[in-house]
Structure 1
Amino acid sequence: MASIAKRPNGKWRARYRDDAGKEHSRHFERKIDAQRWLDEVSASQLTGQYVDPRAGRVTFRTYGEQWRQAKPHRPTTAAGVEKALRVHAYPAIGDRPLARIRRSDVQALVTGLSKPREGFKPLSPSTIRTVYNSIRAVFAAAVEDRLIATSPCAGVGLPEVPRRRVQPLTVDQVRALADEMPDRYRALILTGAGTGLRPGELLGLEVRHVDFFKRQLRVEQQVQQTKGGEVRVCPPKTKESYRVVPLPDTVVHALVAHLQAFPAEPDDFLFRGPDDGPVVYTRFMDGAFRPARKRLELAATGLHALRHTYASLLIAAGESVKVVSERLGHANAAMTLNVYSHLFPDSEDRTRKAIDGAFAEGGDGARADSERTAETR
C-alpha cells in the first residue's frame, strides 16, 4: 500500500510498505517527484527487482565473511578466496556499505593491484583476475540476496593475461625423469605421462581404480593438500572429470612392477609416500620431483607437465580435439583448444590438397573448365 500526503512544512511525504510489512518513506519538495518515486518502487516490486533501501547498509567485509563461510568451497579454493578478500579487498572497501560502493571504486582497487604498495609487490595479471573473481562473487551473491540492485563489478576493466604456450616434456625426458626418481615414484611419472591425469587425480588413485584386465583406469576422486600438510579426498574437479582412461602397455607394465615392489590392498592409494601414507604434493615436489628435475637440468616445470606431454602425444597421433578433451576431462573442447591449439598440426597443407584435389584432372571442376575453354575456341 502506498500513499502521498502533504506535510505541515509544505513538503510531500511518500510512503509504502514492502513485502515484509516494513514501512518506508521519503520527503519531496514536489508532489510529482513523490509520485515518480512511488511509481519506480512499484515497478521494481512487480518485476521482482525490488531492494530494501536499508539492506545495502551492511559492510562489504561483514557480508563477504558471511558469504565466504557459507560457501562450500574446496579447501584450496577456500584458502585462496579468504586470502584474496582479507589481504586485497577488505583494506580497500571492506568497511564501506555495499550500496555505497561504485564501479569506479572496484576499478580503482583492481588497477591498484598492479602497482607497488606498502608491503606488496605488483600482482601479476592472472593473480589480479583471481582476486577480482572473489570480489565479483561477493557482489553477485549480494544481488541475489536483494541487498543491492546491481553489482558494481559490471564493466570493470581487467589487465590482459599474456598467453603462455605450454611446453610438454619429450618422451625421452619423461623416461629420464622416471629413472631419476626414487623407485616408489617411477611408475607415478610414467602413469602421469601415459594417462594425462591432473596431479590431484594422479595422487588420489587407489588400486581398485585400475582394471588390468580391461587395461583401463577410472578417475573417481582426487586429493587436495590441507593447511596441516595432510591430504583430503574429494570429488574430481568437474562432472566431466569423471572418466575412464585407456591404459597403454607402458603404463600397465610400470604399474605391475610397482605393485610387485610395493604391494597394496584394493582400497589403498596406488602411490604412497615413504611413511606408507598418501603422497603429499609439496613433500613429493620438494623431496623428489624438483631434485630429479635439477639433476637432469630440465626447465622449471611441475607435475602438470606430464599432463601436457600426454595431450601432445595424442595430438601428434592425429586424435581429434573432441577425443583429447574427453581424455583430459576438460569441460569442453574449447578449453582444450585454448590450451593446446599451438600443438595441433597446421592445416595449410591439407587445405591446399583439398582444393587441388577438387580441380585435379578428371574432377568436375576441371571438366567444366575444359568445356568452357572449348566453347571459346
Structure 2
Amino acid sequence: MANIQKRPNNKWRARYRDLDGKEHARHFDRKIDAQRWLDEVTASLVTGQYVDPRSTKKPFKDYAEEWRTRQPHRPSTAKAVAQHLRCYVYPAWEKRALGAIKPGDVQSWVTGLSTTHNLAASTTRTVFNTVNAVFRAAVRDRMIPHNPCEDAKLPSVPRKRIVPLPVNQVRRLAAEIPARYRGLVLLGAATGLRPGELFGLQLRHVDLLHATVSVEQQIQQAAKHGVYVGPPKTARSYRTVPLPRIAVDALKAHLRDFPVNAPEG
C-alpha cells in the first residue's frame, strides 16, 4: 500500500510498505517529487530490485564478516580472505556503511594498494577480487542497489615468461637427489604438474598402460589443519595428463625400487 498526503506544514508525505510489511516514509516540498519517488519504489518492488534503505546503512565490516563465514572456502583460501580484509580493507572502510562506499572510493582504495601498501599488481587484483565478491553478494542480498566495484581500473599484471630447466639440468638434479624422490623430479619436469598435485598422486591415479596420470587431489598445508589431502585448485584442475616416455620409465623404476606399501629403506 502506498499513498501521498499533504501535511499541515505544506509538506507532502509519501508512504509505502515493503515486502515485510514495514512502513517507510519521506517528505517532499512538491507533490510531483513525492509521486516520482513513490513510483520508483513501487517499480523496484514489482521487479524485485527493491533495497530496504536501512540495509544500506549496515557497516561494511559487519556484512563482510557475515559473508566471509558463509563461504565454502578451502582453509588456505579462507585464511587469505581473512588476511585481505583485516590488513587492507577494514582499515579503510571498517566504519563505513555499505551504501556509503561509492565507485570513486573503490578506485582510490585500489590505487592506494599499490602506492601506499606497495602491493604487486597481481596481489592488488587478488585483494580487489575479495572486496568485489563481498559487494556482489551484497547486491544479491538486496543490501545495496549497485556494486561500486564495477568498472574499477586495476593495475596490469606483466606476463612472466616461464623458462623450463634444460634437460641436462633436470637429469643432473634427478641424479643428485635421494633415489626415493628421483621419479618425482622427472615426473614434475615432464608433466608440469603443480607441487601439491605431484605430492597428491597415488597408484590409483597412474595408468602406465595408457601412459597417463589423473589429477584428482592435491596435498595442501594450512596453519590450523596441518598437511592434508584436498581437491585440486579449481574445477578445471581435474584432468588427465599424458606421460612422455621419460616419465613412464621414471615411474616404472620408482615402483620397482619402492613398491607401494613397502617400508622405507
TM-score (norm 1): 0.66
Q: Which residue of 1 is the match for residue 140 of structure 2?
A: 144
Q: Which residue of 2 is the match for residue 58 of structure 1?
A: 58
Structure 1, 26-35 or 254-263: larger mean CA deviation: 254-263
**Residues 218 and 245 of structure 1 are in contact (CA less than 8 Å); yes or no, is this contact kept in structure 2?**
yes
Change (3 A) 1:257 1:229: farther
The runs of at least 4 aligned residues of structure 1 exceeding 6 Å deviation read none
Tell me if 1:202 matches 2:234. no
Unaligned runs of 5+ in 1: 277-377
Q: Which residue of 2 is the match for residue 218 of structure 1?
A: 214
Superposed CA RMSD in Å reads 2.0
- The number of residue pairs the alignment matches comes to 265
Q: Which residue of 1 is the match for residue 69 of structure 2?
A: 69
| Whole-angstrom CA distance in 2 between matches of 1:238 and 1:93 | 31
Tell me if 1:166 matches 2:162. yes
Which amino acid is the alignment partner of residue 235 of structure 1? P
Q: Which residue of 2 is the match for residue 46 of structure 1?
A: 46
Q: CA deviation at 1:102?
A: 0.9
Which amino acid is the alignment partner of residue 240 of structure 1? R
Report the identity percentage.
58
Q: Which residue of 2 is the match for residue 227 of structure 1?
A: 223
Deviations 1:70-114 (A, max 9, x none): 111122221211111110000001211101111111111111111
Looking at secondary structure, tell me which structure has more strand per residue: 2
Q: CA deviation at 1:139?
A: 0.4
Structure 1, 180-189 or 89-98: larger mean CA deviation: 180-189
Q: Which residue of 2 is the match for residue 181 of structure 1?
A: 177
| Whole-angstrom CA distance in 2 between matches of 1:239 and 1:89 | 29
Deviations 1:171-217 (A, max 9, x none): 12221222222222211111112222222211110122112333322
Q: CA deviation at 1:67?
A: 0.7
Q: CA deviation at 1:263?
A: 2.8
| Whole-angstrom CA distance in 2 between matches of 1:33 and 1:218 | 65
**Residues 2 and 14 of structure 1 are in contact (CA less than 8 Å); yes or no, is this contact kept in structure 2?**
yes
Change (3 A) 1:230 1:258: farther
SS at match of 1:24: strand
| Whole-angstrom CA distance in 2 between matches of 1:257 and 1:165 | 33
Which amino acid is the alignment partner of residue 28 of structure 2? F
SS at match of 2:8: coil
Which amino acid is the alignment partner of residue 143 of structure 1? V
| Whole-angstrom CA distance in 1 between matches of 2:213 and 2:28 | 71
Q: CA deviation at 1:29?
A: 1.0
Q: Which residue of 1 is the match for residue 35 of structure 2?
A: 35
SS at match of 2:43: helix
SS at match of 1:113: helix
Q: CA deviation at 1:134?
A: 0.6
| Whole-angstrom CA distance in 2 between matches of 1:5 and 1:228 | 60
Change (3 A) 1:228 1:177: farther
Change (3 A) 1:69 1:127: same
Tell me if 1:82 matches 2:82. yes
**Residues 103 and 156 of structure 1 are in contact (CA less than 8 Å); yes or no, is this contact kept in structure 2?**
yes
SS at match of 1:25: strand
| Whole-angstrom CA distance in 1 between matches of 2:113 and 2:239 | 39
Q: Which residue of 2 is the match for residue 23 of structure 1?
A: 23
Which amino acid is the alignment partner of residue 39 of structure 1? D
Structure 1, 230-239 or 77-86: larger mean CA deviation: 230-239
SS at match of 1:78: helix
Q: Which residue of 1 is the match for residue 92 of structure 2?
A: 92
Q: Which residue of 2 is the match for residue 108 of structure 1?
A: 108
Q: Which has the larger radius of gyration?
A: 1
| Whole-angstrom CA distance in 2 between matches of 1:155 and 1:244 | 37
Q: Which residue of 1 is the match for residue 237 of structure 2?
A: 241
| Whole-angstrom CA distance in 2 between matches of 1:73 and 1:197 | 23
SS at match of 2:114: coil
Q: CA deviation at 1:228?
A: 4.6
| Whole-angstrom CA distance in 2 between matches of 1:41 and 1:218 | 54
| Whole-angstrom CA distance in 2 between matches of 1:145 and 1:256 | 55
Deviations 1:202-246 (A, max 9, x none): 111012211233332221112211115732222223333222222
Q: CA deviation at 1:164?
A: 1.9
Deviations 1:309-334 (A, max 9, x none): xxxxxxxxxxxxxxxxxxxxxxxxxx
Which amino acid is the alignment partner of residue 159 of structure 1? P
TM-score (norm 2): 0.93
**Residues 75 and 224 of structure 1 are in contact (CA less than 8 Å); yes or no, is this contact kept in structure 2?**
no
**Residues 222 and 233 of structure 1 are in contact (CA less than 8 Å); yes or no, is this contact kept in structure 2?**
yes
Tell me if 1:7 matches 2:11. no
